A and B are shown apart, each in its own frame.
Chain A
Amino acid sequence: MKFFSVENLGIQFGGVRAVDSVSFDVRRGEVYTIIGPNGAGKTTIFNLIGLIYPASSGRIVFQGRELTGSKPHRVAELGIARTFQNIELFEHATVLQNLLIGRHRHRSTSLWQELAFTPAMRHAERAQREAVEKVIELLELQHYRDTMVAGLPYGVRKVIELGRALATEPRLLLLDEPSSGLNPEETNDMAFWIEDIQKGLGITVLMVEHDMSLVQRVSDRVLALNEGRVIAEGTPREVQQHPAVIEAYLGTRDDKEPLATGAGISA
């Protein structure tokens, strides 16, 4: 049984085929990266996996279960967590509360227990807190525990998003451009954490990323997309040297329409 597979996935927005019969498998325990120029359909694939968009065609299968046609919250319940390219945190809640919301799929108490805050409830909350503290320790968020998210700097928010996804104890973690907007030092931390998540926690990672040095460092396999289609798949090195990938990013030598002739610039 494949761990996670996407088969002939496609979606159309009007006349645009944003994702066009894309297929790939992610093996258990690896870091699998999707790269591609802007507008290639990388984030759209994530939104299709998260069932935020309904797929026009194809199947998504996670551990033998078909996701397509289900509801977004079911995806999380099966053990797939994600982060967002443009941070989507719960702004008017503390960092701790944000991480605790990540524990939602592990809740065990009923509404009545919650209203009365029974001893069982207290016990359950303590367990949730302990799980969250592990994430706080891993990502070194101790300092921000009780601060409101609104007002925290971008780099920290990015880490909190990662933490919230980890708090769900996922089997598959989707990271949408984990290094975007981070400085080199923070990117380095992120790379370290991704390695830690893969090797230490044994979580499979599927990620979209632009920073090629980060991709080289952490990925086991890479998939390159352009205009919604797969153009190459393989190890980071193979993909980077693949002619189709170079063409997608840089164009070809004999391009009919050269980009910079300087016609409009000279004055």
Chain B
Amino acid sequence: MRFLFKTSYDQDLRLFKHGGQVFWYSVLGVVLLAAPWWASEYLLSQLHFIGIYSIVGLGLMLLVGFTGQISLGHAAFLAVGAYTEALMQAAGWPFWLTLPCAALLSAAVGIIVGLPALRLKGIYLAIATLAFGVIVEEIITRWDSLTGGNSGKHVKPVELFGMKLDGDADFYYLVLALTAIACVALANLLRSPTGRAFVAIRDSEISASCMGVNLAKYKTMSFALSAALTGIGGALYAHKVTFISPEQFTLLVSIELVTIVILGGVGSLHGAVFGAAFVIVLPQLISIAKDYLPAAIGGAAGLQATVFGLVLVGFIIFEPLGLYGRWLKVRTWFELFPFYRKGMFRRQKSYMKSERLR
């Protein structure tokens, strides 16, 4: 068990709270940097996807987990990012310009979607964003001249400062770098006034506004940042799959993205990465399991969707803190061995709020 003895305020400001964290994150960094040497081609490709989904998951986590605004239309931002990247690249723009443009355009669309969020809450916001997702999907399908409609668009490998990043390892380092930047930037944001304002909005809008938080500004900002990250994810996704078409950005994808956040653990950055890894690995596990299952089950069409649904429901019932919460429990069990008790993570029920003003 570790006791932290705090002697300066800087200790609370640091990203890494103690030497153990520095050590384990360094190990993780080295292992990830060395991945092209130890990982097979297949595994490396999965790592690409995990990185991309992590960036998107972080974006959605900021919105859902930290600002408390639900979005069932995030596939639309993914699409905006992917198509911006594809179209700008086709027009001959360099990657270092197209990526920020993908992020900015997604952010702009995010602001437009964020505007109804100022008036809508909970289930109504979910419906509004869901409708938005469907609208964007429809626009992409119908706007043949720009997007190629259902016949889709081909995307060439990334070219960065004259270097062609067409190898798996090159692209891996690009994704890894962007994922790391996204993680650190969000961790920074969350220890600053803006991140705290987001959390304030999540927990009580009324008292956030009484503390001087401009609700309209910060909600819009959260939508914009979330959309920007998702847009970056979308741009990378376009390069990864090399071919994009409207059916890659459907409602099911939006739900898959929400699954990342919920499985990972609402309200933790680790959760976004864990959730992304889980969502990528699960379909692989299912396809492996198919070989051992009776044909009637293994060959069934909706197997993957069913398993996803079951896992989601299972997590909501048995582990609302998500994978990150599970990880915390395991870690605490080892730290406190043999003194871990079952109810340690149980939180007291919040007091009834009898007087909701709005």
Contact = CB atoms under 8 A, between A and B. Distances in A.
A1 interface: no
B3 interface: no
A187 to B, nearest CB: 19
Interface string B208-249: 111111110000010000000000000000000000000000
A7 interface: no
Dominant secondary structure at the B interface: helix
Contacts of B221: 111
Contact of A91 (B185, B194, B206, B350): B350
A164 interface: yes
Interface string A101-136: 111110101010111110001100110111001000
Nearest to B192: A114
Given A47-B357, A73-B212, A89-B204, A109 B192 contact: yes
What is the size category of the interface that chain A forms with chain B?
35 or more
B9 interface: yes
What DSSP secondary structure best describes chain A's contact surface? helix
Interface stretch (B195-203, B275-283, B291-299, B323-331): B195-203
Nearest to A76: B212
Interface string B1-35: 00000000110110000000000000000000000
Most A CB atoms within 10 A — which of B194, B210, B211?
Answer: B210
Contacts of A113: 192
B13 A104 contact: no
Interface residues of B, number: 40
B267 A92 contact: yes
A85 interface: yes
B347 interface: yes
Contact of B185 (A75, A84, A115, A129): A115
Contact of A117 (B192, B213, B351, B358): B192
B354 interface: yes
Interface in A2-19: none
B212 A104 contact: yes
Contacts of B12: 96, 129
B189 interface: yes
Given A104-B193, A113-B192, 19 more contacts: A47-B357, A72-B215, A73-B209, A73-B212, A73-B215, A81-B210, A84-B207, A89-B203, A89-B204, A89-B207, A91-B204, A93-B199, A100-B193, A101-B200, A114-B189, A115-B188, A121-B192, A126-B10, A168-B212
Interface of B: 9-10, 12-13, 185, 188-189, 191-197, 199-200, 202-204, 206-215, 221, 267, 347-348, 350-351, 353-355, 357-358
